[in-house]
Amino acid sequence: MPKVFLHNFEHELEEKFVTAGGPGGQNVNKVATAVQIRWNVKKSSAFDDEQKWMIRRALGNRINDEGELVLFIQTHRSQARNREEARERLVELLEKSLVKPKKRVATKPSKAQKQRRLEGKAHRSETKKNRGKIGGE
């Protein structure tokens, strides 16, 4: 798996902190702990055109019309931990999307496999043929 380093495109990230929903008492209402990270894939200078295409293909459902990959993290109560997790998740997504799929090598069944298959079909055919009424009335 290719390694992606955050420092190569960290200056291209746009972070916004907002209040998170869900349980948490007064902390949830007062402190903006959830983080929203936006990164524009189209305008990025950290990756070449082929890599950008691979990212857009793999993460197309997460990329909006402006070409931005948006991550929203609110799992932790701490702003710093949410920010850290968002950045880790972004790097993880990019690394997975940059893996080139293995080329499939076509294979052929051997003569013995073909013969076994045909014998099995003949046996099954004979079994089915023998079902039914006995006698020719």
pLDDT score of 20 more than 80: no
Q: Specify whether the CB–CB gap between 36 and 20 falls below 8 A.
A: no
Secondary-structure class of domain 6-97 per CATH: alpha beta
Q: Compute the average pLDDT of residues 21-42.
A: 80
- Percent of the chain's residues with pLDDT above 90: 34
pTM attached to this predicted model: 0.68
Mean confidence (pLDDT) of the chain: 86
Residues 32-84: tens digit of each pLDDT: 888 999 999 888 888 889 988 998 999 888 888 888 999 999 888 888 999 99
